Every structure is written in C-alpha cells, then in structure tokens.
Amino acid sequence: MIYPVFLDNRYYYDFMERAAKIGISCPILPGIMPITDFRKIKEFADFCHTTIPKAIQDKMEPILDDAEEMKKIGIYYAINQCQDLLKTV
C-alpha cells in the first residue's frame, strides 16, 4: 500500500492520475491527520517535502498559542478535506 502525505487534495488527485498512467494498481489510501499543533505540522511537512496551503497557514499562524482554537480549525479543515475526497469514491 502507498500512503501519500498531502494537505491539499489536488496533490493527491494528481498523484493518483500519474500512478494510474504508469500502471500502479496497488491501493493508494489518503491518510487524514487533523492539524492540532501547527508548529509540528510545519516540521512534518518540511520533513516530507510537502506543502501547506496558504489558506491554512493564514488561519493557523495567528493562533499558534491558542491550542483549543487550533484544534477546532484543524478538525474543520480535516472534515472538509474528507468531504472532498469522498466525492471521488
């Protein structure tokens, strides 16, 4: 199985398209990780060479010290991300 890391669904859709074109047929499952600590997610994204959408950065950076608000926004974003991914199932 392949578990790509992404915070922007467009990257997942593009990856799936490229994988299909070259004949990859194993399951490729998106893993959703709600953002509960933006500082840690930034480190993780850097490590994985993935990007964080500007809209998320703009919402998270002003609330770096408000853990509860960060959790709410992170869960909201994860729900929206899942809803978008489910449209393709």
Q: Is 32 helix (H, G, I), strand (E, B) or coil?
A: coil
Would residue 82 count as lying in a domain? yes
Would residue 4 count as lying in a domain? no
Would residue 3 count as lying in a domain? no
Paired residues of 28 in beta bridges? 2
CA distance 39 to 74: 12
Would residue 35 count as lying in a domain? yes
Q: Residue 43: pLDDT above 90?
A: yes
Would residue 59 count as lying in a domain? yes
Number of domains in the chain: 1
Q: Would you say the pTM of this structure is higher than 0.75?
A: yes
pLDDT at residue number 82: 95
Would residue 24 count as lying in a domain? yes
Give the range of the structural domain holding residue 40, as residue numbers without chain letter. 9-86
What is the identity of the amino acid at 88?
T
The confidence band for 75, taking pLDDT boundaries of 50, 70 and 90, is very high
The percent of residues in the chain predicted with pLDDT above 70, rounded, is 98
Would residue 1 count as lying in a domain? no
CB 30 within 8 A of CB 10: no
